[in-house]
Chain A
Amino acid sequence: MSVEQSDIEKIATLARIRVDEKQVPELMARLNDILSMVDTMQNVDTTNIEPMANPLDANQRLRDDVITEIDQQAAFQAIAPQTEAGLYLVPKVIE
């Protein structure tokens, strides 16, 4: 499998990364190198093999639904680019 120019545009949008037009050919070539390396997996028979998400096949640990964290909003927001009244500021979204 290989990627085309339109795939690059689609993936870049999904990943929210701006890709300059001029960089698309090289990026395509690099991604296709990786994809052909990865394609060797397609020839392997994996019928009835359970996919493995966690190397120890561990399950999600659960805990009681009680508050255990303390409020550190001020400390966490002190390092934000722009805040106001406890909110994070971004360019206007709704006209």
Chain B
Amino acid sequence: MHNCTLAELSKGLADKAYSSDELTQHFLKRIKQLDSQLNSFITITEEQALAQAKAADQQRANGNSTALTGIPLAHKDIFCTNGVKTSCGSKMLDNFIPPYNATVIEKFNQAGAVSLGKTNMDEFAMGSSNESSFYGPVKNPWSTDCVPGGSSGGSAAAVAAQLAPAATGTDTGGSIRQPAALCGITGLKPTYGRVSRYGIIAFASSLDQAGPMSRTAEDAALMLNVMAGFDHRDSTSSEQAVPDYTAALNDDLSGLTIGLPKEYFGTGLSPAIEQAVQAAIKEYEAMGATIKEISLPNTSLAVPCYYVIAPSEASANLSRFDGVRYGYRCEDPKDLHDLYTRTREEGFGEEVKRRILIGTYALSAGFYDAYYRKAQQIRRLIKNDFVAAFQQVDVIMGPTVPNTAFALGEKSNDPVSMYLEDIYTISTNLAGLPGMSIPAGLVEGKPAGLQITGNYFAESKLLNVAHKFQQATDWHQQFPAQFSTKAED
């Protein structure tokens, strides 16, 4: 059952090949047997999962079901889940039990899905390796002395190790796409505003977006059908209509124009990954696509721009963690100032504190114009590059990450080197565009991802382009052998 896609499981449930109860117990057993090697879960919600599974089986018996009814999923521990610990990977929220559900969680509940538990992540979504979590690092199932990527490292590892058929993640600078690439799975960051941010613990409000992490583009489409849509409780939510994201999956690709930004194929990109990406491009040519070299001239400014905007917004969003209303509180505070300063010193990890301080500096009087306002202007230039490009091409492709998964500890002492891992993914968040990573090869036994970026609200086209590749190739069917065999059925 764990070798099946979400679409196959959905059919299996509909055909009564097995029940949601059996399916859920199967994955819970796998998690218990295998997750100690990965640390991909922070909380396993066994009781609730079994209750949801029973309810789902009842729904199916009554003839009331959706594609996702009874399907077990894992959720990044950034989505508030009512009555279930939500830590955001941080000591600050280690004792936090939200009294409400995120909209994304509500939508999956209404669709009848089952929640297996909450996955590990970089603290407050700040990271590209899942090494900054209060709950310890996550291991990459392809090579357990390597990182899975971040910040949605737990979700990526869980899907790659087949501990869950699919999972949710969030992406602010690449946090769905980069771990998807390093773990050999499919990840989609929708257009900004496509999925509600209500109940997602906020990192950078103009960049954050939730999305599916799955085995296939088809599965991502099934999940996006549930996740997408206007939410009056998210003031940045888009009122754009939600199509059926599975409808155009099989559309022919002849006539598709693919743009390859020359800035994405320069120094810093590993030759082996470049080779894998070029091979993928050849597949697309064979399917009738035309390739065009384009330029995104302001690409080199994306990382500096992001590392002003994201920390600035984070400094504002994380100011709510003050030990007063919920979460961690320091012991024996002498006065209010001591309560605030020691709660935040003790509750936040080093990377989070660094980013809050950088953000505070960038926004402070005398520096706001030079840093934050300047970065917002650069942001517009980056967006303009894409708008111009999409007048010439339908989709943009390139590598997702410059290298395959690096060793645990290799970059944790060099924040700037870590930041450069996001070099290809960050522009997409700055521009607010939708982007995907799909498996496109194995380099020395570790996955390489192909990144596909689309125009605003063009998720259907993105999923179609990804799906056709997955029909012509089988990279997305490769899973690490160590976790593929069944422990016991």
Q: Which residues of A contact B (CB under 8 A)?
A: 1, 3, 7-8, 10-12, 14-20, 27, 30-31, 33-35, 37-42, 44, 46, 49-56, 58, 60-61, 63, 72, 75-82, 88, 90-93
Q: Is B272 an interface residue (CB 8 A)?
A: no
Give chain B residues whose Cβ lies under 8 Å from the Cβ of A11. 357, 360-361, 364
Binary interface encoding of chain B residues 267-310 relative to chain A, with 1 for a CB under 8 A from any of its CBs, else 0: 00000000000000000000000000000001011011101100
Q: Which residues of B contact A (CB under 8 A)?
A: 96-97, 99, 192-193, 206-207, 232, 235-236, 238, 298, 300-301, 303-305, 307-308, 315, 319, 322-326, 329, 333-342, 344-345, 348, 353-354, 356-358, 360-361, 364, 367, 370-371, 373-381, 383, 415-416, 419, 430-433, 456
A37 lies within 8 A of B416 (CB)? yes
Give chain A residues whose Cβ lies under 8 Å from the Cβ of B383. 52, 55
Partner among B303, B356, B373, B374 whose Cβ is within 8 Å of the Cβ of A37 = B303
Q: How far is the CB of A22 from chain B (nearest CB, A)?
A: 13
Q: A51 and B232 in contact (CB under 8 A), knowing A15-B344, A41-B378, A76-B99? A: no
B374 lies within 8 A of A88 (CB)? no
Give chain A residues whose Cβ lies under 8 Å from the Cβ of B360. 11, 14-15
Q: Which residue of A lies closest to B332 (CB)?
A: A91
Q: How far is the CB of A37 from chain B (nearest CB, A)?
A: 6
Give chain B residues whose Cβ lies under 8 Å from the Cβ of A55. 192, 206-207, 379, 383, 430-433
Cα–Cα, bound, A32→B97 (Å): 37
Q: Which residue of B lies closest to A51 (CB)?
A: B376
B356 lies within 8 A of A17 (CB)? yes
B377 lies within 8 A of A16 (CB)? no
B308 lies within 8 A of A7 (CB)? no
* CB pairs A–B below 8 angstroms (11 shown): A30-B415, A31-B361, A37-B304, A38-B308, A39-B304, A44-B381, A52-B383, A55-B192, A55-B379, A79-B99, A81-B326
Q: Nearest 6 A-B pairs (CB), nearest first?
A: A55-B432, A51-B376, A18-B341, A46-B377, A18-B345, A52-B380
Give chain A residues whose Cβ lies under 8 Å from the Cβ of B367. 1
Cα–Cα, bound, A8→B361 (Å): 9
Give chain A residues whose Cβ lies under 8 Å from the Cβ of B236. 54, 58
Q: A50 and B416 in contact (CB under 8 A), knowing A17-B357, A38-B371, A90-B339? A: no
Q: A17 and B456 in contact (CB under 8 A), knowing A33-B415, A33-B416, A91-B336? A: no
Q: How far is the CB of A18 from chain B (nearest CB, A)?
A: 4
Cα–Cα, bound, A83→B353 (Å): 28
B307 lies within 8 A of A37 (CB)? yes
Give chain B residues whose Cβ lies under 8 Å from the Cβ of A44. 298, 301, 378, 381
Give chain A residues whose Cβ lies under 8 Å from the Cβ of B364. 10-11, 14
A90 lies within 8 A of B96 (CB)? no
Cα–Cα, bound, A31→B350 (Å): 12
Cα–Cα, bound, A91→B329 (Å): 12
Q: Which residue of A lies closest to B313 (CB)?
A: A53
Partner among B193, B300, B357 whose Cβ is within 8 Å of the Cβ of A15 = B357
Q: Which of A14, A19, A78 has its CB near the most chain B CB atoms (within 10 A)?
A: A14
Cα–Cα, bound, A18→B379 (Å): 32
Q: How far is the CB of A38 from chain B (nearest CB, A)?
A: 5
Cα–Cα, bound, A78→B303 (Å): 41
B99 lies within 8 A of A75 (CB)? yes
Q: How far is the CB of B204 from chain A (nearest CB, A)?
A: 11
Give chain B residues whose Cβ lies under 8 Å from the Cβ of A46. 374, 377-378, 381
